[in-house]
Structure 1
Amino acid sequence: MQDWLDTWVTAGKADVITCEHSVNEIFVRPAWRHCVKKTVVDIHSSLYGTCQNQLQTGTAEKPWRDRLSLPLLKRYERRYTAKFTDLVVTTPEDQQQFQGQPGQQTLHVIPNGVDLTAFPYRSMDPGGHRLVFVGAMDYIANIDTAKFLAQDILPALRQRYQDAEVLLVGARPTDEVKALGALPGVTVTGAVPSVVEYLHRATVCVVPMRIGYGIKNKTLEAMAAGVPVVASERGLEGLAVDSPQRALRANTATDYVTAISRLFDDEVLRQELAKQARSMIEADYTWEQVGRHYEQVLSS
């Protein structure tokens, strides 16, 4: 890969270099910043910020390792971002992580998007008391979320609604996620042919994430599909959902039970949240719109 890129850039064939995620920054040589028009990195989210967040919330897999790694990650991000002319992040919160980096980079906030063809607005509200959470079930943030939802939120909710259930939808569930399927009302699906079908069957989509920076595709996709959302600050990061109201916020198990109960009991509220959220997605979060913003960064 490096030989191919070196040959390409040396031959003068590159006007702009765009790097997807910091994991690929290793292929971008510092000198290229001075021999092409622009070098752009689409960061997704801060490694330092994510590690710090996991330590603060007690969710780090290996806390001693991460405490030792934290200052190294800070230094690493300062070093690699200096190779680029432009930095792209998905939310204002992540933008703050990269303020004041060395060099003359321009910081841009460009969110992720949704394919509205793949996530059509559902034709009817199914009612009932079914929750859904979607995500790759081998990712630490989703594993923590699945456990919090199944072990802390759902049991309290089932005291009010005995038939309440949650679908944990996503590929590669770890053993600890699979074990959640033994709990009353919990179904672990593994990989499914169509995520949107599970979204359409749910009364409410819950995104009770406690860790993980960046905008959440799972939240955008549920909103596009017409499913009312209850989510944490992390699950709603970067989204304006309060005026008009497009989702309900919650951060503790008690908050979630209260918010979910409101939606279980109020079909009109479910429909209003779903309608407002879909309008926001159509206006600001399609891949076509996101692509135009990214193209402006590359061409300006």
Structure 2
Amino acid sequence: MQDLLLLIHRIPYPPNKGDKIRSYNLLKHLARDYRVHLATFVDDADDWQYVPTVEAMCASSHFAALNPTLARVRSLGALLKNRSLSLDYYQDAGLQRWVDQTVAAHAIKRVLVFSSAMAQYADNVPEARRVIDFCDVDSDKWRQYADKKSWPMSWLYRHEARQLLRYERKVASEYDASLFVSGPEADLFRQLAPESTARIGHFSNGVDTDYFSPEHELANPYAPGERALVFTGAMDYWPNVDAVQWFCDEVFPLLRRQDPALRFYIVGSRPAPQVQALGQLAGVTVTGTVPDVRPYIRHARVAVAPLRIARGIQNKVLEAMAMATPVVVSPQALEGIAADPGRELLLAADAQDFADAVWLLLGRDDNTMGLAARARVEHHYSWPSNLACIGERLECY
């Protein structure tokens, strides 16, 4: 087996946590064919418990502690250096030393980078075959943030969008392959970095359809007879915060006028103060971290994904589809997902459309749409088949 250096910005575990699903499955796939040497950050105290599990998957590994508050303060220094804040946020001298020592000790000739901010650690191995999984076009996400914020945050986010795009283009021009989470995401980057078009590709996320299955016996977390709507995701992530705020302000009141007993559950870890405040609204419950998100998805009448800012593929949508729970999505949440609106899920562009779509699903007695969505996921979102391109990119092709 060949040695491979894998650089990931956050520890790739647990495997069912939204922002770690792709990185975990990537590590799992690579560990079958390579001796993986992993360098990653741990930015949540609860995640240290997963270190032994991840270590067991690797030939060697390095876990660097990252304090998000201190990292944000440190990253502001990038403004004076005219570089991306994201790069300084993830700077760590100890991690760089470990990478350099590991490359030398094992004569590393293959490097896979997960997320743009980790590419800085592979600058010293230009002779290796280097592949980066950007996942999303993060610079465009910052541009979208800027459009939603007022000054001075809008200025700061536009600065980050410009600087990060400059770095993304540099990395793409130097690496053997740049991969994204969907065709639309790859197409966007081809427009932004036309000089690297020939080396840009994508592979879709997958779903563990055995784990996210409606066949499991899962205790109902809702009150008897309760008609529940659910949103799932990391609730300190601003696009998710923005989505539930908009839903509670614009959509849920329309639904409650027709059914005052209807309830909306916001399920996810680390709810931001704005999200916690939504729990004071009539009919809204903010759960915080739950041991298993599947019962909330499985027993909800409808899952909603009203994102207004989104990049790549929304795992929350795929997971609800896999659980055969009917889903209503915004156009942004649907981007990159191969699904047939009207047959496998419902698409809604504004508040009234969203309310109408949810009400339509609440009035149905059968689950034809949920079952069709499940079939779609089984057919198109298998991790083994979607990850097959990685080996090809890491080797000569």
Instruction: Tell me, in whole angstroms, the C-alpha distance in 1 between the residues paired with 2:363 and 2:389.
Output: 40
Partner of 1:89: 180
Task: Please report the RMSD computed on the Cα atoms of aligned residues, expressed in angstroms.
Answer: 2.4
Change (3 A) 1:291 1:22: same
Partner of 1:117: 210
Shift of residue 61 of structure 1?
Answer: 8.7
> Residues 1-300 of structure 1: matches in 2 within 5 Å?
1-10=95-104, 13-29=107-123, 32-33=125-126, 35-36=127-128, 38-58=129-149, 62-99=153-190, 100-103=193-196, 106-122=199-215, 129-242=227-340, 245-268=343-366, 271-299=367-395, 300=397
Say whether the 8 Å CA contact 1:170–1:192 is kept in structure 2.
yes
Question: Normalised by the size of structure 2, how large is the TM-score?
Answer: 0.69
Aligned residues: 294
Identity over aligned pairs, percent: 31
Q: Which amino acid aligns with 1:67?
A: R
Instruction: Tell me, in whole angstroms, the C-alpha distance in 2 between the residues paired with 1:183 and 1:15.
Output: 55
Q: Which amino acid aligns with 1:159?
A: R
Q: Secondary structure at the match of 1:14?
A: coil
Say whether the 8 Å CA contact 1:84–1:105 is kept in structure 2.
no
Instruction: Tell me, in whole angstroms, the C-alpha distance in 1 between the residues paired with 2:152 and 2:327.
Output: 28
Say whether the 8 Å CA contact 2:146–2:155 is kept in structure 1.
no
Q: Secondary structure at the match of 1:205?
A: strand
Instruction: Tell me, in whole angstroms, the C-alpha distance in 2 between the residues paired with 1:243 and 1:145.
Output: 20
User: Residue deviations 1:128-163, cap 9 Å, x none?
Assistant: 631100010101001001111122111111111221
Q: Secondary structure at the match of 1:234?
A: helix
Shift of residue 246 of structure 1?
Answer: 1.1
Q: Which has the higher contact order (CA 8 A, sep 6+)?
A: 1
Partner of 2:19: none
Q: Give ranges in structure 1 of 5+ residues lacking alignment.
A: none
Q: Which amino acid aligns with 2:143?
A: Q
Instruction: Tell me, in whole angstroms, the C-alpha distance in 2 between the residues paired with 1:108 and 1:297.
Output: 10
User: Residue deviations 1:266-289, cap 9 Å, x none?
Assistant: 133xx1221111111111212222
Change (3 A) 1:89 1:60: farther
Question: Normalised by the size of structure 1, how large is the TM-score?
Answer: 0.90
Shift of residue 44 of structure 1?
Answer: 1.3
Shift of residue 164 of structure 1?
Answer: 1.3
Q: Which amino acid aligns with 1:214?
A: G
Say whether the 8 Å CA contact 1:131–1:202 is kept in structure 2.
yes
Instruction: Tell me, in whole angstroms, the C-alpha distance in 2 between the residues paired with 1:61 and 1:240.
Output: 38
User: Residue deviations 1:201-253, cap 9 Å, x none?
Assistant: 10010000000211011111111111111001121111122278211001211
Instruction: Tell me, in whole angstroms, the C-alpha distance in 2 between the residues paired with 1:207 and 1:61.
Output: 29
Instruction: Tell me, in whole angstroms, the C-alpha distance in 1 between the residues paired with 2:197 and 2:158.
Output: 30
Shift of residue 112 of structure 1?
Answer: 1.2
Say whether the 8 Å CA contact 2:267–2:286 is kept in structure 1.
yes
